[in-house]
Amino acid sequence: MAQTFRYAFILIFSSLLMSGCASNQNLQSGRVSLQYSPAKSAPGSEKAEKLWQAFERYEGTPYQYGGTTARGFDCSGFITTAYREGLGQKLPRTTSQMLRYGDVVQPGNVKPGDIVFFRIAGKDQHAGIYMGDNRFIHASTSSGVIMSELNGYYWKNRFSGARRFD
């Protein structure tokens, strides 16, 4: 009887543990499962609304190094496409060029539409578009085009700055 109880306990505990791990996959990939509302996060921001529409068009598109199309994007390829299609604005193609030519934005003054940069392996090599309410959209190497949180476990200590292109 005690042996049966022990096996039942192990089975129940294991299944609870496994379901918990499965539900954390979105957190580990940086994906935010909350619904985003541009009106809620950026009141009256036409810029954010247009960039949000570009995000909706490409959400889930896979990551592809050097990619600039719906077949695959790298981070700067997604940013340049979103800006071109959503705002009719041409941006520099690479993250290093964006860092060089954009206007520096202090961390407390970041607005929807600003480009946010992250230091990975000691270099500024990832970027996304800030959308307000602590969220940014980007092409992640692990998940493709997604939305993440600036203070998410992976991103918060890697944030290195922001640039504005008006």
Nearest to 31 by CA among 158, 156, 133, 137: 137
Cα separation, 111 vs 30, in Å, equals: 21
Given phi > 0 = left and psi -120 to 50 = alpha, else beta, which region is 53?
A: alpha
47, 50, 135, 138: which is the annotated catalytic residue?
A: 138
Q: Which two tokens stand for residue 26?
A: 């979105």
Cα separation, 85 vs 81, in Å, equals: 6
Respond yes or no: is residue 75 known to be catalytic.
yes
- Angle of CA points 132, 39, 69, to nearest 5°: 65
42, 50, 102, 126: which is the annotated catalytic residue?
A: 126
32, 42, 75, 110: which is the annotated catalytic residue?
A: 75
Cα separation, 36 vs 23, in Å, equals: 20
Respond yes or no: is residue 21 known to be catalytic.
no
123, with CB counted inside 10 A (0-12, 13-18, 19+), is exposed
What residues are annotated to the active site?
Answer: 75, 126, 138
